[in-house]
Amino acid sequence: MGDRFDRLGVRHVNVESLLRRPLAGIGHNGGPVFDMSWGAWVWRRASAKAWKTPKPEVALRRLKSAERLGLTYREFTGALMDSGAHFGCAVIALSLAARLRRAAGGRFVVEPRAAVAAKLARFSGRLFVLADIDAVPAATTDERPALVDAIRTAFAGRVEAAGFGHDVATLRALLRDHNAPRGETFMVVSGLPQRVLAESAGLPLAKDIESWFA
């Protein structure tokens, strides 16, 4: 069955990453499973110490920063504790954020999805879009600048840049070309393939779109 599927040539570009995905996944800190062993007790003690409530002014500053990005205090602080990085950038697939169609003359029309547009309007950070193949109907290389302009216009200039593709190489190149550190970037996702993409690209957080700005 697997061989027949491979010969069809329609396997998703992220399937290898999906099949090799660690059971722990994004957000797992490598700690032991919950049990009554000495190792688990030490881990829980260290975790409690690390998550000790900081000074009120520090906690309030972190909370405000997290709220501006649509994250929880724990998500924002977790990245800070893990790598010392402050989240400031987000990536979202165009197919999640908008519908795309061609008007007369081949012009691109970007129609933001109302629920997502409301979230993006509240987002205070650097925003990047992955123009995945499903969302871009036969766009040629020459048409890409016009499409990026249409995306920026549709979202009131909130989108800084767009990448064309939905794979690790495209995502990393998009961030690298615009000096957006991966450690300071999270991806807004829907479904396991996008979560695996974020993980494979080395992003510290994949934020489910349903809980983003919830």
Residue 51 pLDDT more than 70? no
Domain limits for position 118: 89-208
Q: For residue 32, what are the contacts with CB-CB under 8 A and spacing of at least 6? A: 39, 40, 43
* Whether this model's pTM surpasses 0.85: no
The answer to whether position 39 is within a domain reads no
The answer to whether position 79 is within a domain reads no
Instruction: Pinpoint the alpha helices (H) of 13-113.
Output: 15-19, 38-50, 56-69, 73-83, 94-97
Residue 103 pLDDT more than 50? yes
Instruction: Please give the tally of structural domains in the chain.
Output: 1
pLDDT 10s digits, 116-142:
999 999 999 999 999 865 556 567 788
pLDDT 10s digits, 71-83:
998 888 888 777 7
The answer to whether position 131 is within a domain reads yes
The answer to whether position 179 is within a domain reads yes
